[in-house]
Amino acid sequence: MDRTFELEMVDELLDVLANPTHELTDRVHEEPTANYTCPERFVLERERLFQRMPIAAALSAELPEACSWKLFDETGVPIVLIRGEDEVVRGFLNVCGHRGARLVEQPRGTGKRMFCPFHAWSYKPDGSLAGVPAQQAFAGVCREDRALRPVEVREHLGIVWVVAKPGDTPMDLDAHLGPFAEELAKWDVGSWNYLETRVHEVPANWKITMDTFTEGYHVPVLHKDSIGALAAGGLNAYRAFGDHQRQVFAMKTLEELRGTPREQWNAFDELRLAFTYDIYPNTTFLMAGDHTEMYQTFPGATVDTSVCVHSLFSFEKAETEEQRGNFSTLFDFFFNLVEHEDFRVCAGIQKGLGSGAFDTHIYGRNEAMTQAMHLAYDRDLNEYRSRQDLGAGNG
């Protein structure tokens, strides 16, 4: 990683360890519990936050070569992403132009043609209709009219961004990312290597699931027998980049660097600190040592369920069976940790909402990222609601 950046983060974290109140925000926020249970709000969230704005649908490493594809269904719109023979990533509705069958069924794959499993109509990676069995039965049908329907996709900074239901204006990634683009560029995401994806089905509203990735307050308690034993009390250095946010967490061993020459500091590789980034509205990166975990949180089928797509990437390619095995073991550890610790609590929170015990949840001054995410959700939903009321369209 960038050496100057690493040293700056070490300096900032050492200051936080010496003065734990340094990173407190200036207010306590109360979030209505109804925002986690309201079916009408849930529908609006899916449409505005997940279908009408840019979503990180994949990393470039998940489409590593020409004609490789990945399914992306989590917004509620069936999409297939595919890297063309020209190396450009495109997105299409995963709907065959013949009878509307699901064209691609496997989550990932590679091929110069996509064949419909119903009647074997086939399509090229650019979405054009390539083949129609018993073609004489479809005399007069315009092939161009039956090409796959595109969705708006842009590959930028090693991430494939999708707007599932575009409005009247094109995707504006510059506006969406703002100052975060420069921060993201430091990590050279396009050079990462994809390893594996697993999925968590969580019996809790998607925002409850997302909340667990936005603060370190819970780490020394919930994770006391796992990562909490290594972390310095969940203390972190926080910074917002518009709606996107960064937290850098200190490990207990970071204190060992005090008094040692700066040129000897190698904090990131030695796992003395870890980075988390929340990419608005639903994606979390956790970077530590030689890898990144990506957590993508989506609404489930109902207001009280969610899906977390959990993927692992390495900074250097795993060349040997031993290296791949080590990463698999690492993924086992973190997948089970999140599943049985974080998401167990999330399920309990969702059950508790039905009791009516409290009208609000409180986010403290040490939960700045959590506060900011919810304030941004409220802002975007209210703005979108107002546009709908005014008849200004759904863009």
Tens-digit pLDDT string for the chain (395 aa) = 899 999 999 999 999 999 987 668 889 999 999 999 999 999 999 999 999 999 999 999 999 999 999 999 999 999 999 999 999 999 999 999 999 999 999 999 999 999 999 999 999 999 999 999 999 999 989 989 999 999 999 999 999 999 999 777 899 999 999 999 999 999 999 999 999 999 999 999 999 999 999 999 999 999 999 999 999 988 899 999 999 999 999 999 999 999 899 999 999 999 999 999 999 999 999 999 999 999 999 999 999 999 999 999 999 999 999 999 999 999 999 999 999 999 999 999 999 998 999 999 999 999 999 999 999 999 999 988 776 665 544 44
Dihedral pair phi/psi, residue 112, rounded to 5°: -80, -10
- CA nearest neighbour of 104 among 135, 139, 138, 67: 67
Q: Which pTM does this prediction carry?
A: 0.94
Report the Cα 153 to chain-centroid distance in Å: 16
In angstroms, the CA 111 to CA 102 distance is 17
1-53+180-395, what's its fold? Answer: Naphthalene 1,2-dioxygenase Alpha Subunit; Chain A, domain 1 (3.90.380)
Residue 43 corresponds to which tokens in the numbers above?
A: 């529908």
Domain ranges of the chain: 1-53+180-395, 55-170
The DSSP call for residue 149 is P
Dihedral pair phi/psi, residue 245, rounded to 5°: -140, 155
In angstroms, the CA 363 to CA 377 distance is 15
Among the CATH numbers 3.40.50.1370, 2.102.10.10, 1.20.810.10, 3.40.50.12280, which is that of 55-170? 2.102.10.10
